[in-house]
Every structure is written in structure tokens, then in C-alpha cells.
Structure 1
Amino acid sequence: MTEVTPITLLRGIESRVRHSAKGLPEQGEVAQTWSGIGFRIGEHHFVAPMSEVKEILRVPDFTRLPNVQSWVLGVSNIRGRLIPIIDLNDFLSYESNQAIRNRRILVIEQNEQSDGLVIDGVEGMQYFPIDDFDESTPNIPEGIKPFVSGHFVKDKRIWCRFNMRELFESEEFQGVAV
């Protein structure tokens, strides 16, 4: 009678496992994706490229400024930097039904100037297949259209691609003085 050693037993288990194991699934073609920060203005959903949003914050305390447009709420000291706090809804002539403290800020930076854009809500990171991008502008308010460069559709929701650079470079956005 042959003696069953632990090594013999392990070799038997290995043989049975190898025989019944399935191979690795075939690796299909990996679709390229586009990612960005999702946010809301009213019931409209937008996504901005990660490279255009520096950080996301709760609305901080801010100091009001005289002789500025109504959409410039004031300035805030954020980590030692004075950052203008801008109500993006008001700038785009789109009324918000949320209290200012329940909203969020997207901090953008262009040409070494930072601005805090108050928006209705943040929808987290969003990922879309690049091939799903549609350059047409969906049905959104006219005041927002100049800053939208197309859209994606995911889970039956339209996500407009918001171009922060276009916003920043627009004459209206730069004209903060009254």
C-alpha cells in the first residue's frame, strides 16, 4: 500500500484544479473614455474636463464687494488666496432654487487667475466612451449655449460638455465691474 503524503495530496488537488479551470477571457478592444467632473445647474447636467477644475468646495464665507455685477457674490480667502466667488446660475441668467449654503463651488484656474463658480450640485466623476460624443448642442437655455461644446448621453441623461476656458475668456465674464 502506498503512503499518501501531503505532497502527493497537493499534486492531486493541483491536477484536478488545472483540469477544471477555465481559461482567461479574451481581452476585447478597450474603448477609450473621456472623463470629467459632473455638475448641475438647475435640472441640467454638465461635465467639465478634469484639467479645468482645480478643486471642489462647500461655499465658504465671503466678503461682498461694491460696484460689481450681481453674479459676483464677493471674494473668499481660500488657503491664503483671494478667490472671486461667482454665482454661475446668476451669470447664465438661470435661477437657482437652492440656498447658497447647500450649493458647491468649482474652483477653476486660467492664466494664473482662480475663480470659484457656485453651482447647484456636484455629480462626481463621470466617464463616457469617446465615440459617444455628439458635437451638437442639446436643448438648453440660450445663455448657457456659448459655453457648451457638445454632449454625451449616459443612462438616458444628457451631459453637456461645459468649456470653462470659453467661459473665462468671454467678455461678459471678464466684465465684473458695474
Structure 2
Amino acid sequence: MNLRGEQGGVDVPADGRSGQLVTFRVGTEEFGVPIMDVYEIIFVPDITCIPRSPEAFIGVINLRGEIIPVIDMGIQFWGEKADTSRKRRIIVTSSHHRIVGLLVDEVTEVLRVEESNRVSAPGLMHTAQTAYMKAIYNMDSRIIVQLDLDQLLKHADLASIHHEIY
């Protein structure tokens, strides 16, 4: 697959149907992105650092000839590097037709979510720190935060990163 191909994400519909999220952990928290926004999940290869880049942007990888910027989600969320365990993965995804890798501590599963599991969090969803949150799902004893990749990557200054790389 050409990684530059267009692919659009699908939110969980508001009409009671279900959708699927690729879920992952960063620290002790669990997040998800729509499966339609995920190109692939890979083991962590060698990452080439780029000097003077934003803090969460830890470098680039070469994925079958494509240069992909990588964001450390631990730094992005909490200012701390992602775990160094063997469970770490890079989720290759896109935002505004820009490919990016998200370094996470662990990919947990592909989870079917229903609109009935979506919960509101008044006041929480409208702060600058939580602009990256698209939805919250209560799945039995688990809370899954669906990320808004456009907002998250805008905050990570992805446009300037892509300008440096391409």
C-alpha cells in the first residue's frame, strides 16, 4: 500500500450503530483511534533524531521507503518518554493526509464500541489540555478516550515537522 494514499476516519455513528477503535496504552491510561485511521502497527525500528524539533517529535523512521515522523505519546501527554518495554509499538496513522507514527506503550486490541457506551464529560471536553479528546467510552470497568488526531497532531506542531522532513 502506498502510505500516501487517502484514507478517512469514521467516527462512531450517533445512530446507535457500532464502530471500531484500535486501543492502546500510554502510561496507565487507555486511548483509541478509529481503525479506519490506522494504516498499520509496527515494532519500534531504529528512529533517526532530527535536531531542534518539537519535544514530542522524537525523529523519523523509514517504512518501506517512506519517511514517517514519530511522536512519543508519553511526552505529548505527560512530558515523560513512553515506556521502554518490549510491548511498545508505533501506530502508523494519518491526519490531513499526513502520515505520522504514534509511539505507544502497548497496543491492546481492536475494540467495538457502541454509541450507547459513549459518555459525556461536561466542562472537561472544552479545555486546551483536552482538545485532543473526541469522545469517552465506558466499557465495563474500562474508560477509553478516543483521540481527535487532527487536534492532537496540530498541538504537536505536525505541520512544521512535515515541512522539515519533506
TM-score if structure 1 supplies the norm length? 0.70
Q: Secondary structure at the match of 2:131?
A: helix
How far did 1:48 drift? 0.9
Higher strand share: 2
Whether the 8 Å contact between 1:41 and 1:96 is mirrored in structure 2 is no
Amino acid at match of 2:118: F
How far did 1:96 drift? 4.5
Matched, 1:93 2:78: yes
Structure 1 pair 173/81, CA: closer, same or farther in 2 (3 Å)? closer
How far did 1:93 drift? 2.5
Q: Distance in 2 between matches of 1:99 and 1:146?
A: 27
Q: Deviation digits for residues 76-124 of structure 1, max 9, x if unmatched?
A: 1101100012111112224246216541111112233211110111011
Whether the 8 Å contact between 1:135 and 1:149 is mirrored in structure 2 is no
Moved over 6 A (4+): 137-140
How far did 1:65 drift? 1.2
Matches within 5 A, 1:10-49: 32-49=17-34
* Structure 2: runs of 5 or more not aligned: 1-15
Amino acid at match of 2:76: F
Matched, 1:150 2:135: yes
Q: Distance in 2 between matches of 1:138 and 1:100?
A: 35
TM-score if structure 2 supplies the norm length? 0.75
Q: Which residue number corresponds to residue 61 of structure 1?
A: 46
- The structure that has the greater radius of gyration is 1
Q: Secondary structure at the match of 1:54?
A: strand
Provide the aligned length of Structure 1 versus Structure 2.
Answer: 146
* Structure 1: runs of 5 or more not aligned: 1-30
Whether the 8 Å contact between 1:34 and 1:129 is mirrored in structure 2 is yes
